[in-house]
Structure 1
Amino acid sequence: MKVDVLSFDNKKAGSIDLDDAVFGLEPRRDILHRMVVYQLAKRQQGTHKAKPRNEVKATSKKMHRQKGTGGARHGNKAAPQFRGGGVAHPPRPRSHAIGLPKKVRRLALKHALSAKQAAKELIVVDQALLDEAKTKALIEAFGKLGLSNALIVDAEVDEKFRLAARNIPDVDVLPVVGANVYDILRREKLVLTKAAVEGLEARLK
């Protein structure tokens, strides 16, 4: 399919053909959902931990005599029912990652790109460059394109552009190798440079 290429001044700068195998699929919610769950589970640190009773430093001496006190027959201060004791079945450090085939992950990225194109939330620009790292200038450029919540993807992110964009809320900048389903879906608009389109098509073929 053919789409217009814009400049950051919101002027037409040509056109480009998008590969239907990457940008023209019928979006499937189930595949997108599986991929988002996979990404969010994988990025959890999994460093949560509490001490079980065998790791708590406490006396193991019998607390009082067996009979005659009117209390239960306790034999260890580290038992879970006591203040400062261990935790019964505590969380342990572990990986939360789940498995997802590589083919499904690649397909999910295609469906995410196709979903943005189908919803008319995909904008292709000629390049993402700035003469100087000025956030004010970039905000003005985004205003001309009507961007307030967007993900910008370039083949290689320009350092001045990245510095200018990092202070703008709800705006992310990623290289082609870092483009992923979760970041694409969480932003309202997806802005790709011509080089990013070629990079994504080469990556997903």
Structure 2
Amino acid sequence: MDVTVKTLDGKDAGTVTLADEIFGLEPREDILQRMVRWQLSKRQAGTHQALGRAEIARTGAKLYKQKGTGRARHGSARAPQFRGGGKAHGPVSRSHAHDLPKKVRALALRHALSAKAKSDSLIVIDDLVATEAKTKAVAKSFAGLGLENALLIGGPQLDEGFSRSARNLANIDVLPVQGINVYDILRRRTLVLSKAAVEALEERFK
């Protein structure tokens, strides 16, 4: 698959051939869904916690005598049915992460890249380097390229001036190629790859 390479100024800078085994697959929604669910579950904090009856700071004395009152027999004021008592079957701190095979994760990334290529939402930029490290200048370049909601993936090392300038723009994310992931690809309308990122991805899936 041949794609025209653009510069940040919107000019043509030749073409690049994208590997069909990475960018030319037929996207499968089930694999993408499994990957997004895995990512979101893994990053969920899981710090929700309620106090059970064993953790309540309350007297341990029996409420009243066992017999003769005509009332139900109770042995603890910490029981869940009493006001101020413990929570029955409440949430506890735990990890929500679950396993997903490494091959499925790699396949999901290729399907996400293919989905963007198939929907014409993939742009290849010559180099993500800002000539002027100012948010206004970078915003003007993005407007010329029609980027309003985009994920930009650079090479192994990001240009500090460019990443700082793009950081303040709403709905724009900038990541090095090591940080590329399915969730961030799908949550943004357009995927922008630098030539260095394309080379790194093809080397990764070789």
**Which TM-score band (shorter chain)?**
over 0.9
User: Matched residues in 2 for 1:153 and 1:73: separation?
Assistant: 67
User: Matched residues in 2 for 1:201 and 1:98: separation?
Assistant: 28
**2:135 paired with 1:135:** yes
Residue 31 of structure 2 aligns with which residue? 31
Shift of 1:62: 1.1
Residue 192 of structure 2 aligns with which residue? 191
How many residue pairs get aligned? The number is 205
Residue 163 of structure 1 aligns with which residue? 164
Residue 177 of structure 2 aligns with which residue? 176
Q: Is the deviation greater in 62-71 or in 21-30?
A: 62-71
**2:2 paired with 1:5:** no
- CA distances 1:158-185 after superposition (whole Å, capped 9, x unpaired): 1111111111111100111100000001
1:89-168 alignment to 2 at 5 Å? 89-155=89-155, 156-168=157-169
> Structure 1: which 5+ runs fail to align?
none
When normalised by structure 1's length, the TM-score is 0.96
Shift of 1:69: 4.2
When normalised by structure 2's length, the TM-score is 0.96
Shift of 1:132: 3.7
Q: How big is the alpha-carbon RMSD for the aligned residues of Structure 1 and Structure 2? A: 1.2
User: Matched residues in 1 for 2:30 and 2:58: separation?
Assistant: 51
User: Matched residues in 1 for 2:188 and 2:170: separation?
Assistant: 11
For the residue of structure 1 that corresponds to 2:196, the secondary structure is: helix
- CA distances 1:2-35 after superposition (whole Å, capped 9, x unpaired): 1100011111011111011101111111111111
1:77-96 alignment to 2 at 5 Å? 77-96=77-96
User: Matched residues in 1 for 2:136 and 2:165: separation?
Assistant: 8
In the alignment, residue 128 of structure 2 is paired with which amino acid? Answer: A
User: Matched residues in 2 for 1:164 and 1:143: separation?
Assistant: 14
Residue 40 of structure 1 aligns with which residue? 40
In the alignment, residue 94 of structure 2 is paired with which amino acid? Answer: R
Q: Is the deviation greater in 183-192 or in 51-60?
A: 51-60
Shift of 1:55: 1.1
- CA distances 1:130-164 after superposition (whole Å, capped 9, x unpaired): 13431111110000000000000001221111111
For the residue of structure 2 that corresponds to 1:53, the secondary structure is: coil
Runs of 4+ in structure 1 displaced over 6 angstroms? none
User: Matched residues in 2 for 1:163 and 1:71: separation?
Assistant: 70
Shift of 1:67: 4.0
User: Matched residues in 1 for 2:162 and 2:15: separation?
Assistant: 23
- CA distances 1:77-123 after superposition (whole Å, capped 9, x unpaired): 11111222111112111111111100010000000000000000000
Shift of 1:191: 0.3
User: Matched residues in 1 for 2:205 and 2:187: separation?
Assistant: 21
Q: Percent identity?
A: 60
Query: Does the C-alpha gap of structure 1 residues 65 and 159 become closer, same or farther in structure 2, counting only changes over 3 Å?
Result: same
